[in-house]
Amino acid sequence: MARVSQEHLDARRRQILDGAARCFARNGFHATSMQDVLKEVDLSAGAVYRYFSGKDELIAAIVIEVLGQVHEGFEEAAHSIPPTSPDLLVTTVLGRVLASREALTVDGRPAFPRLVVQVWTETLRNDELAALLREGYGAVQDAWTRIVEAYQDAGMMRSDVSPDHVARTMMSAAMGFLAQQALFGPMPADVLRDGLRALMSVQDHSSVNLLETRSN
């Protein structure tokens, strides 16, 4: 029997993950059966079960892959001195994730944002998935915290704010942007970039007034 190449195995695994993602985004986890996945990817049960034992393992694999990509992007930025500004950093990483999954569509619309919302909903009843998500988001939050500390060390950000609070806020901005895409339709990552850039330009009038008072 001819040996199957690693490239073939990787491509088949990718085919299954993408097909499952489309099914989950279209109908949700509970309404999707493994038979639906088999039909979507046009493979036999044996071919699919060779890679994944069932729906839960498919969901976990999708979550691990996405969070790993997000973490990798921010981890790379955490080692830059000084790191890229927040507006460009979030947009670059999020744009890269969206671009890598732009071929995944449901009814002509991007499937990935809808899939993300499905995952968040599933964590309310699936403790194992919730733990997996907490671990993944914890790693992203840790990377963001170190990025904020680098901003502060470089004098790019005020130092009297907790890095953890800033990290959570930036994560919320990215998560909210994905939720809007799922609810209202696709929009370019530049929208998030421009919004963050505008917010970053807002002056603290109390500080400005204090400086003016001191100068007088």
The token pair that represents 67 in the structure block: 């969070």
> Mean pLDDT, the chain, as a whole number?
89
Closest CA to 35 of 22, 54, 9, 17: 54
Q: What is the pLDDT of residue 210?
A: 47
Q: Which residues of the chain have pLDDT under 50?
A: 1, 210-211
pLDDT in tens, 13-41: 999 999 999 999 999 898 999 999 999 99
CA distances, 140 to each of 81, 127, 180, 200 (Å): 18, 20, 21, 22
DSSP 8-state symbol, 105: E
Distance CA 189, CA 125 (A): 31
Q: What is the pLDDT of residue 204?
A: 72
Long-range contacts: 75-79, Cβ < 8 Å, 24+?
Answer: 75/143, 77/143, 77/147, 78/143, 78/144, 78/146, 78/147, 78/150
Q: What is the pLDDT of residue 77?
A: 83
- pTM across the whole model: 0.82
pLDDT of residue 142: 95
Spatial separation of the C-alpha atoms in residues 155 and 159, rounded to whole Å: 8
